């Protein structure tokens, strides 16, 4: 099978690998680069568990071909905590019980981060819209919505 070289920035560090041509970003991240924080839930683009941020935009790694990410900047949930300190979103998810089985959490946090990166003070409706592509089967969403709103309040009050 033809192998191709891929190279991109993963969570701030250079990542390079040989993958089979046509491999999804999800497959390259998990199977080649050991980045198993990214989950595959449906491989159809329906559940959002595989969501990552590519060059600042939220995308589905299960439907993105690894080769199309040459030289891109890719962020996963593994990069959220800095220097042993949890990101406000992570703290809020822990405190408001926004994670139960945990399988949707990585993607959900990426969707939430993509929201807060562009809109630091989202409304409840903005939050619901931002996570509408991410399915959670445990929480009923309310604790997640509360966590994202709490994180935005925490970040705003720290900045002030």
Partner 1 sequence: MSLTLATFEGVHKAALALCTARGAHYIGGGTLLVRRANEGDLSIETFVRVTDPGLAAITLGPGRITLGASVPMAAIAARSELGALARAAKTIGGPAVRNMASVGGNLFAPSPYGDLGVALLALDAGVSIESGAGREEIPLETFYTRRQRLPSGSIVTAVSFARAALANLRFAKVSRVKPKGSAVLTIAAVLAEQDGVVSSASIALGCMAEAPMRARAAEAALLGRKLTREGIAPALAAATADTAPPTDAIASAWYRRQVLPVHLGRLLVG
Partner 2 sequence: MELRKSYFADERDDHLVEVGKPRARTDALGHVTGASRFFADRNFPGMLHLKMVRSPHHHARIRAIDTAAAERLPGVVRILTARDVPHNLYTILTLIQVGPEDENVLATDKVRWQGEAVAAVLALSERAATEAAARVAVDYEVLPAVLDIDAALQAEAPIVNEYHGRNYYRYDSGECRKVRYGDVEAGFRAADHILDQTYSSSPIEHAPTETTGCIVVPEPGERFTCYTNTQAMFFTLDVVAMILEVPGHRLHMVGGTVGGGFGGKVDVIVEPIAVLAAKLTGRPVSFIYSRAEEMQVSSPRGAERIRIKDGVLRDGRIVARQVTAWLDAGAYSRHSTYGAQKAAAHFPGPYTIPNVAVDSYCIYTNRTPSSAMRGFGVTIGDFALEVQMDKLARLVGMHPLEFRCLNAYRDGDMKAHRQPTEGAALVECMQEASRLAGWPMAQHFYAMSSRRREA
* Per-position DSSP letters for the chain, written without gaps between them: --EEEEEEEETTEEEEEEEETT-BHHHIIIIIS--TTS--S-SSSSS-TTEEEETTEEEETTSSBGGGGTT-EEE-GGGTSBTTBPPHHHHHHHHTT--SS-TTHHHHHHHHHHHHHH-SS--HHHHHHHTTT---SSS-SHHHHHHHHHHHHHHHHHH-
Our finding on whether 104 is near partner 2 (CB under 8 A) is yes
Q: Shortest distance, CB of residue 35 to partner 2, whole angstroms?
A: 8
Stretch that binds partner 1, among 7-15, 81-89, 107-115, 141-149 (CB under 8 A): 107-115
Q: Which is nearer to partner 1, 54 or 98 (CB)?
A: 54
Interacting partner of 39 out of partner 1, partner 2, none (Cβ under 5 to 8 A depending on kind): partner 2
Please state, in angstroms and rounded to a whole number, the distance separating the CA atoms of residues 149 and 22.
38
Our finding on whether 43 is near partner 1 (CB under 8 A) is yes
Stretch that binds partner 1, among 71-79, 85-93, 128-136, 146-154 (CB under 8 A): 128-136
Our finding on whether 44 is near partner 1 (CB under 8 A) is yes
Please state, in angstroms and rounded to a whole number, the distance separating the CA atoms of residues 146 and 92.
8
Q: Shortest distance, CB of residue 85 to partner 1, whole angstroms?
A: 27
Interacting partner of 57 out of partner 1, partner 2, none (Cβ under 5 to 8 A depending on kind): partner 1
Residues 37-76 that bind partner 2 (CB under 8 A): 37-44, 46-47, 49, 76
Per-residue interface string for the shown chain with partner 1, residues 13-32, x marking contact by CB under 8 A: -------xxxxx--------
């Amino acid at each position: 099978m033809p192998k191709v070289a891929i190279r991109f920035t993963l969570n701030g560090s250079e990542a390079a690998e040989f993958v089979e041509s046509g491999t999804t970003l999800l497959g390259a991240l998990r199977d080649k680069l050991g980045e198993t924080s990214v989950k595959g839930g449906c491989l159809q683009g329906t559940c959002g568990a595989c969501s990552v941020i590519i060059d600042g935009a939220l995308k589905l790694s299960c439907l993105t071909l690894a080769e199309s990410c040459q030289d891109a900047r890719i962020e996963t949930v593994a990069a959220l905590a800095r220097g042993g300190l949890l990101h406000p979103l992570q703290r809020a998810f822990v405190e408001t019980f926004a994670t139960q089985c945990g399988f949707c959490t990585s993607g959900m946090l990426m969707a939430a981060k993509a929201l807060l990166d562009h809109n630091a003070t989202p409304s409840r409706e903005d939050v619901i819209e931002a996570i509408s592509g991410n399915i959670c089967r445990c929480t009923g969403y309310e604790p997640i919505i509360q966590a994202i709103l709490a994180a935005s309040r925490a970040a705003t009050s720290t900045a002030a």
